[in-house]
């Protein structure tokens, strides 16, 4: 499709149980909307043929654009998809979701009502289709708030730090904030991406919002009694890019050496680095150029945002 309004983007992430369901839910969510679906396969090598076979009908019919990403990093996969996307808006979703029928439409309606405003990421409600321990303990020290369950709803539009997937961003804003930057270029994974994307727009003069309409239903993590029947989902062949490294790099790019030092102990980064000096050296190597770019383009400082959070009270 030429000049689609929305590009729906997902990385496979070794997901075989829900992948086709997620793609077909995207097809339904795009009814009445000009859109494309981009799948970046960052599964381990032995799963690639299975992924292709599963999506063969949709690829053949032109319903799905398929690309292969050798590294397991979700950030790298999503950045590859953004380079291939032709839509005005990028809608990112996990590969183990059902996208609600009104979700994409509600997101587009929001942006159209806020035309010209400096809005980056827009989040729709998330519901876990199970009792997830991950959702229960999800909190971000960078945000100085505990978001609790990602499934918690809001009954009105509100500014937020970050709320995970699904999220939509105008493609021109994605480029304006420098995309996924060093976290993706160096394939350091998902672990630091959420705080990084939560703060980056605010530092650069943009806002993140959540709306009450639409929903994405997440399937996984699986209950203990079912896990032995879930064969894939986690990466096992490639452990060379620990997510904790991304956490340290994110802190450095966002706030510099001082901020990384402050976050090192509370964020328990000693699990990934021998010392704070080791973390700083790695962060400078990976994120030094982006830190320079951030300093040139920043509208606000980390301290300013901490002292006067413009997003108010998150969930």
**Residue 208: per-residue pLDDT:** 93
* Residue 200 sits in the same domain as residue 258: no
Tens-place pLDDT, residues 146-169: 333 444 567 789 898 887 788 999
| Residue 248 scores a pLDDT above 70 | yes
| Residue 112 scores a pLDDT above 90 | yes
Share of the chain above pLDDT 90, in %: 54
Residue 65 lies in a domain: yes
The residue from 226, 261, 286 where one domain ends is: 226
> pLDDT averaged over the chain?
85
Can you tell me the mean pLDDT for 186-200? 78
Residue 222 lies in a domain: yes
**Residue 19: per-residue pLDDT:** 93
* Residue 78 sits in the same domain as residue 143: yes
* Residue 207 sits in the same domain as residue 70: yes
What CATH number has the domain bearing residue 123?
Answer: 3.90.550.10
* Residue 198 sits in the same domain as residue 290: no
Residue numbers of the domain that contains 268: 240-307
**pTM of the full structure:** 0.90
Residue 1 lies in a domain: no
* Residue 157 sits in the same domain as residue 260: no
Least confident window among 181-185, 203-207, 214-218, 223-227: 223-227
* Residue 199 sits in the same domain as residue 252: no
Torsion, Cα of 198, 217, 241, 274 (10° steps): 60
Residue 93 lies in a domain: yes
Given a contact cutoff of 8 angstroms between Cβ atoms, the answer to whether 280 and 257 are in contact is yes
d(CA 11, CA 76): 9
* Residue 47 sits in the same domain as residue 176: yes
The residue from 197, 226, 255 where one domain ends is: 226
* Residue 41 sits in the same domain as residue 176: yes
- Quote the number of domains for the chain: 2
Spatial neighbors of 15 by CB under 8 A, at least 6 apart, are 22, 43, 95, 96, 232, 233
* Residue 125 sits in the same domain as residue 263: no
Residue 108 lies in a domain: yes
Residue 107 lies in a domain: yes
The residue from 191, 226, 261 where one domain ends is: 226
Residue 235 lies in a domain: no
| Residue 231 scores a pLDDT above 70 | yes
* Residue 192 sits in the same domain as residue 302: no
Spatial neighbors of 149 by CB under 8 A, at least 6 apart, are 128, 135, 136, 138
**Residue 141: per-residue pLDDT:** 41
**Residue 291: per-residue pLDDT:** 96
* Residue 298 sits in the same domain as residue 214: no
* Residue 201 sits in the same domain as residue 173: yes
Residue 231 lies in a domain: no
**Residue 17: per-residue pLDDT:** 86
């Amino acid at each position: 499709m030429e000049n689609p309004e929305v590009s729906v983007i997902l990385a496979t992430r070794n997901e075989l149980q829900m992948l086709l369901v997620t793609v077909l839910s995207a097809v339904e969510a795009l009814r009445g909307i000009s859109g494309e679906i981009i799948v970046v396969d960052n599964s381990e090598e032995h799963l690639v043929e299975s992924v292709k076979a599963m999506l063969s009908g949709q690829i053949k019919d032109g319903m799905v654009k398929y690309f292969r990403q050798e590294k397991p990093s979700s950030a790298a996969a999503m950045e590859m998809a953004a380079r291939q996307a032709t839509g005005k808006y990028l809608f990112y979703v996990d590969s183990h979701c059902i996208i609600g029928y009104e979700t994409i439409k509600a997101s587009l309606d929001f942006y159209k009502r806020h035309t010209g405003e400096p809005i980056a990421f827009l989040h729709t409600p998330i519901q876990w289709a199970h009792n997830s321990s991950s959702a229960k303990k999800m909190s971000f020290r960078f945000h100085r708030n505990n978001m609790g369950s990602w499934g918690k709803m809001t009954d009105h539009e509100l500014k937020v730090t970050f709320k995970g997937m699904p999220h939509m961003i105008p493609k021109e804003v994605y480029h304006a904030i420098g995309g996924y930057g060093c976290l993706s270029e160096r394939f350091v994974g998902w672990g630091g991406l959420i705080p990084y994307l939560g703060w980056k727009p605010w530092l650069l003069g943009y806002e993140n919002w959540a709306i009450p309409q639409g929903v994405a239903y997440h399937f996984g993590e699986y209950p203990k009694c079912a896990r032995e029947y879930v064969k894939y989902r986690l990466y096992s062949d490639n452990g060379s890019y620990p997510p904790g490294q991304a956490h340290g790099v994110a802190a450095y790019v966002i706030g510099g050496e001082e901020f990384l030092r402050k976050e090192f102990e509370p964020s328990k980064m000693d699990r990934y680095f021998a010392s704070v000096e080791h973390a700083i050296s790695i962060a400078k190597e990976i994120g030094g150029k982006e830190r320079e770019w951030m300093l040139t383009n920043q509208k606000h400082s980390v301290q300013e945002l901490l002292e006067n959070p413009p997003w108010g009270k998150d969930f």
